[in-house]
Structure 1
Amino acid sequence: MIARLDAAPKVTGQAKYAVDHNFPGMAYGYVVLSTIANGELAAMEVTAARHTPGVLGVYTPFEPLELRTPISQMLGEGWVPLQDKEIAYYGQPIGFVVAETFEAARDAAALIEVSYTERPALTSFAEGLATAEDAKTGPRGAPSLSVLAEGVESIEDALAASEVTVDATYETASQNHAAMEPHSAVAVWNADGLTVYTGNQGSHGPADELAQALNIEHSAVHVVNPYVGGAFGGKGATSTPAFLAAAAARNIGRPVKAALTREQVFTATATRPATVQRVSLGARNDGTLVAVRHDSWSSTPMSRSFIEPTSHGTSREWYATENLAISQKAVPLNIPPTTFMRAPGEAPGSFALESAVDELAVALNMDPIGLRKRNNSAAPPGEDLQWSSKHLDECFDIGAARFGWSERTPGGRVDGDWLVGLGTATAMFPGLRFPATVGITLRADDTAVVATSGADPGTGLLTVLSLIGAESLDISPEQVTPRLGDSALPPGGTSGGSTATASAGSATMVAASTVIDELLRLASSPGGPFDGRETAYADGRVFADGRVFADGESMTFGEVLRAMERISLTATGSTAPGEERTKHSFGSWGAQFCEVRVHRLTREIRVSRLLGVFDAGRIINPTAARSQLLGGMIWGVSAALHEGLDVEANGRFANADLAGYLVPVNADIPEIDTHLVEYPDTLLSNVGARGLGEISIVGVAAAIANAVYNATGIRLRRIPMMLEDLLED
């Protein structure tokens, strides 16, 4: 076990984030945003701004920076600012001012007069439901799915034939990632091309998108992002500041720094969609599920950039059932882009499904854990591919014992003025792996570098690379220097989908095996230290403890390199999802437990205890794993009780700042604990690890709502939960 390698630089202020980079002659950019939600730019009067002292350039769709639309392999067709006059949402980037100082750029931007040809805007999700359309396009959009037992003609028939049914509608609010580091970039051009410092969940992706947008060779773009101040899905694509800073720096011939203000982050980036979900469950009297129907509606911008896959991310996989029907519809609105946010689909989807399962348990007069265990799935409904590894029942058993679940009573208990209740919910997130390449360099000083272009947006990947690299090379972690966040390194993909450990870790193992083979060939080559000798260890190994063995003698890899007058030896390893997907289904699992206290007079809800028990395969770094899990569970509390974007009729976010957009503080978070059941899943990857960064948010909001019901007898079907939702008429 080693301390997190980036901890000291971050807490001491030595870590350099994007805007911490400064260069001689650097200018500053400020983004201008629209103040209508639908229409067209008629004119932009920029004379006053252009003549403001210190201003170097003013760019608008009438006098744009030259940018082309990039196409991302993961996200599809992107969007670049200032290329047309159409306005699709309030807060859309429509201008960019570059000046000698940030203040000069900001003040000049305020002088720009904008005229619009305004059209009626549809900004209300509730009103937009009437315009919903099938979500068959866009990232994670999927068509309807129906799995029916033989002889059953429709899901309605299956529900009607069920002995006990539950049918309810649930709502989740739109959310913003609200990462501590605003989206930003510093762009520098020189004879070799463009270097951009920007916080992103990868570096190869932004390098490719910038190359396309600027119409230059990919090799001429260098993206650097060793430190990322939070991302959660919101920094998967190249940001508006990066495109504008790069284009403006080329235009004026000077480095340009651009950063969104906190308010701008809420519209000039992307958000989690709002959802409405109808869940219908049918069961026999013994609790066996007969039918599950999950119909979902997701808000989406007019571009249909992203659909929240709530029904496909939960009901399609979580429980065994004889009949299943799920559908997903999109509600196009004049709102900012939507995108992936921690556990996209599963987080909001679990609130609806796990609340409905709790409602079914009440209707059956059955223990909620017993109901979940009775319907535990061996494979997704309608599929033959069984889960590679699943220990959900053990998670519930351990959690119930540790949390004191046996003391729960149907009506909760009273503690003075507080009504106390317990709730639980299932957590699940798919086990995924992305393509990744890792390079390993052995050095003559007996150290090694493990490098890939992926990013560590706070997940602990840097330390994981060190640990897996050391294990694979059979040396100590102190001998390994991990490197991340640089597009000049081997392509490591995007840190998203809880894939980084399984993806980069697997590639590290391949790279280690390859570089060791290269070292052995070098050692036994003509003129090498083991030329003509059998390289073998006592038990048949030829490489162990960082040493090459032959005829009872050994040399460290550094000694071999020095003997051959080499300063280093490098090899790469690549892995990608393969045929394992045709043999098994993969997922991480967990059980969430919550205790709430509801004041009998004020109806204030306080979460007083939380416990999460998770099955995520092998755990590489228990300390970092616990940190990730706690962070996700805290975010679950935030989603349940705090977070929600309020959209005014004109499309403006009423709470686009960290005063109005509520997130938890220390006083909001109670006693919280986690437990990991560790069963390495080598069917997913040689590392044996599955993702755990996202699973920990899943199910928390439902567990809280279920605990509130246990305490009060009032079922809350909307998050964030409000005091008024608990007030009796």
Structure 2
Amino acid sequence: MDRIDARAKVTGAAKYASDHNLPAMVYGHMVTSTIGNGRIVSMDLSAARAAGGVIEIYTPGNRPAFRGTLPPPLAPVFAEARHPLADSEIHYYGQIVAMVVAETIEQARDAAALIKVTYTALPPKSSFEDAKQNPADPPVTGLPLGQPIKKPQDVDIETALAASQVRVEETYDIPPRHHNMMEPHAAVAAWQNGKLTIYSGTQGPAAHALELATVLGVQPADVHVISPYVGGAFGGKAFTWAPALLAAAAALALARPVKVVTSREQLFTVTGHRAASSQTFGLGTHRDGRLNAIKHHTTSQSIVEDPGYRTTPKYYLAPNVDIRLMVTPDMNLPTATIMRAPGDEAGSFALESAMDELAVRLGMDPIELRMKNYLESTLIEAKPYSSKHLDACYRVGAERFGWSRRSTQPAAVTDGDWQVGLGMSTAILDSGRASTTVRVTFRPNGTATVGCATSDAGTGMWTIMAMTGARALEVPVDRIRPALGDSGLPVAGNNDIYGAVGSAATSTVTPAILVAAKEAIGKLVEHATTAAGSPLVGAGDVRYDGGRLVGAGTSVGFGELLTLTRTAEVGAQGTSAPLDESHAYASYAAHFCEVRVNRWTGDPRLGRFTTVVDAGAILNAKTARNQITGGVLFGLAAAMFEEGKVEGATGRISNANLADYLLPVNADTTEIDVHFLDHPDTRLSPTGARGIGELGTVGAAAAFANAVYNATGKRIRTLPITPDKLLA
């Protein structure tokens, strides 16, 4: 079915965070540093203070009160733990150094331009290429990220590789990437009677409320986050960043509502990004293609982007494995955070490119090589997979795409001025779910509300909640009113407060809807037999049937029942059972890509793309296909365009705008063939659904790169794949 929120979005009726305007509201405009390392010596605010409409200017010497730090374990690692305006030290170019609050946004922006900052500048450590030459062990955070993985524990990976009959060892580099969601980070904050209400785009309203409360020094119950619509996130809105903190703190200090909207350029520095990574992959096999050794050593700016931990252990079988991460500490770069399929996207590019190189070295079909090393259980813990049909993805995808027509000889197929090549790759993404709470409520007008403090970051949660509620209550979907994007709605506990992250929202929320619906039906039946005015009072055997209460020869709809009994609502909460940890859970896909490369200009173009997906039950094929298509384009953007360019001398991101930071548009793509196997995974959840929001992006860049090699004979190991690299 169509998204139920679609009409509101395309007509402008949907109100995003910055669309809210409150009485007496004022506007904050952030000022950012123009050096990458050093210290603020002085700030001349005189002209700015004299400008019209200016109410206050916050600086490191006059900062709003922050009384706590982001709560562990995730937020301090995945967001900027340092408070905005904490001190005069400059850690990266584009760091917030001031915020002007004025009566209008124009007055705030114009006054901000009048602030004169004097710095003592030091050479920034901003070149990842230089820093990766001297990496360090990752910090200990209490999270599994960054920890070395070996199989067996005493493996000497270099010896195992040397003993292999066929070997490949190469390095694959990926530059920084930036979320660039349509809706920038924004917040409108207002206090009343010591309680904060904040309109803020977030992937997890309950987590956002907890983080704001902790930093501001108030109780979580005194923070109300409202975020029904989110204009894209990709992980960038999973945690709390400076714009929301500054808006909330300034609103408290000024006793007026404050709106803060991040500019597009500021979005590149103050709200996180995907860290650069450099991965060395060594693969050793027997002559028949069976893997003997896997070496995956990564250097990254941050443990957030740990491709070895997230990727390699779940792909292929090998007796000798060595996975480790090193980091480039204390760099003068903005904070790294999670971005769609963190670690998995980068790791899949390196692993699946290396597997393609190994297939070439062996003279073996890439699918045959993958099947020879097929995993039936996890590589390290040897847990069985709950449900895995990756082999069918390969088979069905090859047939739909016409893989048998692929030339094994690179640069052998041409079409006029275009070299044509085919490539493929595997996509695997861990699946999971949390135990969460949902409330289902029947109302006198014949509708039912299904409510949970999750979020819809564009992934279709509004629609899935409505569809699942309709299924559970046996009523048409237009009688279900989903409620989400509100921290005041039910949430089970700290394990699920992060909402729409990790491709787990659907598998987390839908089982709880089934439990809550059953509980609510029980309450409704009890009400029907006991409430004054009910035609079923005293009936011995009343049952719920398709939205009606039936018993003793009488049938009444639940809306009519509540009207007769003068009852505003009847409902109940339900909490889903915890996940069975005896199995491993993942979603799978096989990507097939055709690339056309102009022999004269080196311009690589997408020709065709087919992906076959095993992601459990597909609850809504239309929105699911949309998610896979978007994910594939997200991965192809990394392959073809996206690159945050950092000036080594200054630390400035030189393409921090949407003219120079390239993203794919309609002209860069084609219709993507998506096919779902639709095998329900009932071990994961009663609805059988697994996550897909990030799956499409995993492996997509590798499929493109492998097709480029097949078209040209040139192996590009540094993304993005641009004409200059193909012409070199």
Aligned to 1:570: 571
Q: Within 2, Cα distance between the matches of 1:434 and 1:119?
A: 46
Distance 1:228 1:190, change over 3 A: same
Q: Within 2, Cα distance between the matches of 1:552 and 1:38?
A: 80
Q: Within 2, Cα distance between the matches of 1:436 and 1:558?
A: 28
Post-superposition CA distance 1:602-628 (Å, at most 9, x none): 111111111111100011111000111
Post-superposition CA distance 1:456-500 (Å, at most 9, x none): 110000000000111111111111000111112112632111011
Aligned to 2:704: 704
Q: Within 2, Cα distance between the matches of 1:397 and 1:230?
A: 34
Aligned to 1:655: 655
SS in 2 for 1:378: coil
Higher mean C-alpha deviation, range 345-354 or range 119-128: 119-128
Aligned to 2:601: 602
Give how far 1:565 is off.
Answer: 2.9
Give how far 1:511 is off.
Answer: 0.8
- 1:82-121 aligned within 5 A: 82-121=85-124
Q: Are residue 317 (structure 1) and residue 322 (structure 2) matched? A: no
- 1:68-83 aligned within 5 A: 68-73=67-72, 75-77=74-76, 78-83=81-86
Aligned to 1:396: 394
Q: Are residue 8 (structure 1) and residue 34 (structure 2) matched? A: no
Which of 242, 257, 260 pairs up with 2:259?
257
Please tell me whether the aligned partners of residues 608 and 671 of structure 1 are also in contact (alpha carbons under 8 angstroms).
no
- 1:456-471 aligned within 5 A: 456-471=456-471
> Quick one: which amino acid aligns to residue 502 of structure 1?
S
Q: Within 2, Cα distance between the matches of 1:156 and 1:6?
A: 55
Distance 1:70 1:469, change over 3 A: farther
Post-superposition CA distance 1:560-589 (Å, at most 9, x none): 3334332211211223643x11x1000000
Please tell me whether the aligned partners of residues 70 and 215 of structure 2 are also in contact (alpha carbons under 8 angstroms).
no
> Quick one: which amino acid aligns to residue 141 of structure 1?
L
Q: Are residue 643 (structure 1) and residue 642 (structure 2) matched? A: yes
Q: Within 1, Cα distance between the matches of 2:567 and 2:173?
A: 63
- Structure 1's unaligned 5+ residue stretches are 301-305, 537-541
Q: Within 2, Cα distance between the matches of 1:532 and 1:21?
A: 50
- 1:367-516 aligned within 5 A: 367-411=365-409, 412-491=412-491, 493=497, 494-516=499-521
Aligned to 1:161: 163
Aligned to 1:43: 42
> Quick one: which amino acid aligns to residue 318 of structure 1?
Y
Aligned to 2:219: 217
- 1:88-237 aligned within 5 A: 88-138=91-141, 141-148=145-152, 153-191=155-193, 193-237=195-239
> Quick one: which amino acid aligns to residue 518 of structure 1?
K
Give how far 1:190 is off.
Answer: 2.3
SS in 2 for 1:271: coil
Q: Are residue 681 (structure 1) and residue 681 (structure 2) matched? A: yes
SS in 1 for 2:523: helix
Q: Within 2, Cα distance between the matches of 1:709 and 1:467?
A: 44
Post-superposition CA distance 1:25-75 (Å, at most 9, x none): 221110011122222222222122111111000010111111134333552
SS in 2 for 1:122: coil
Please tell me whether the aligned partners of residues 453 and 484 of structure 1 are also in contact (alpha carbons under 8 angstroms).
yes
Give how far 1:136 is off.
Answer: 4.7
Number of aligned positions between the proteins: 713
Post-superposition CA distance 1:238-274 (Å, at most 9, x none): 2322111111122222211111111010001100011
SS in 1 for 2:21: coil
Report the TM-score when normalising by structure 2.
0.95
Q: Within 2, Cα distance between the matches of 1:445 and 1:43?
A: 63
Distance 1:278 1:601, change over 3 A: same
Aligned to 2:664: 664
Q: Percentage identity across aligned positions? A: 46
Q: Within 2, Cα distance between the matches of 1:665 and 1:554?
A: 55
Please tell me whether the aligned partners of residues 439 and 450 of structure 1 are also in contact (alpha carbons under 8 angstroms).
yes
Please tell me whether the aligned partners of residues 535 and 548 of structure 1 are also in contact (alpha carbons under 8 angstroms).
no
Give how far 1:555 is off.
Answer: 2.8
> Quick one: which amino acid aligns to residue 414 of structure 2?
V
Post-superposition CA distance 1:631-687 (Å, at most 9, x none): 111111110010000000211000000011000111101232111110111111112
SS in 2 for 1:249: helix
Distance 1:618 1:648, change over 3 A: same
> Quick one: which amino acid aligns to residue 204 of structure 2?
G
Aligned to 2:693: 693
> Quick one: which amino acid aligns to residue 652 of structure 2?
R
Q: Within 1, Cα distance between the matches of 2:355 and 2:301?
A: 25
Aligned to 1:271: 273
Report the TM-score when normalising by structure 1.
0.95
Post-superposition CA distance 1:99-145 (Å, at most 9, x none): 11111111111121222233332101111113312225346623111
> Quick one: which amino acid aligns to residue 715 of structure 2?
R
Give how far 1:232 is off.
Answer: 0.3
SS in 2 for 1:200: coil
> Quick one: which amino acid aligns to residue 358 of structure 2?
L
Give how far 1:153 is off.
Answer: 4.5
Which of 294, 299, 323 pairs up with 1:326?
323
Q: Within 1, Cα distance between the matches of 2:381 and 2:191?
A: 53
Please tell me whether the aligned partners of residues 149 and 322 of structure 2 are also in contact (alpha carbons under 8 angstroms).
yes
Q: Within 1, Cα distance between the matches of 2:356 and 2:306?
A: 22
Q: Within 1, Cα distance between the matches of 2:545 and 2:555?
A: 10
Aligned to 1:721: 721
Please tell me whether the aligned partners of residues 425 and 590 of structure 2 are also in contact (alpha carbons under 8 angstroms).
yes
Which of 516, 524, 548 pairs up with 2:529?
524
Post-superposition CA distance 1:508-564 (Å, at most 9, x none): 11111111122222233376644444326xxxxx32212233345433223333343
Please tell me whether the aligned partners of residues 68 and 80 of structure 1 are also in contact (alpha carbons under 8 angstroms).
no
- Structure 2's unaligned 5+ residue stretches are none
Please tell me whether the aligned partners of residues 279 and 293 of structure 1 are also in contact (alpha carbons under 8 angstroms).
yes
Aligned residues: CA RMSD: 1.7
> Quick one: which amino acid aligns to residue 123 of structure 1?
S
> Quick one: which amino acid aligns to residue 124 of structure 1?
S
Aligned to 1:21: 20
Give how far 1:709 is off.
Answer: 0.7
Please tell me whether the aligned partners of residues 38 and 121 of structure 1 are also in contact (alpha carbons under 8 angstroms).
yes
Q: Within 1, Cα distance between the matches of 2:146 and 2:578?
A: 21
Give how far 1:193 is off.
Answer: 2.1
Give how far 1:287 is off.
Answer: 1.1
Q: Within 2, Cα distance between the matches of 1:42 and 1:278?
A: 43
Please tell me whether the aligned partners of residues 19 and 185 of structure 1 are also in contact (alpha carbons under 8 angstroms).
yes
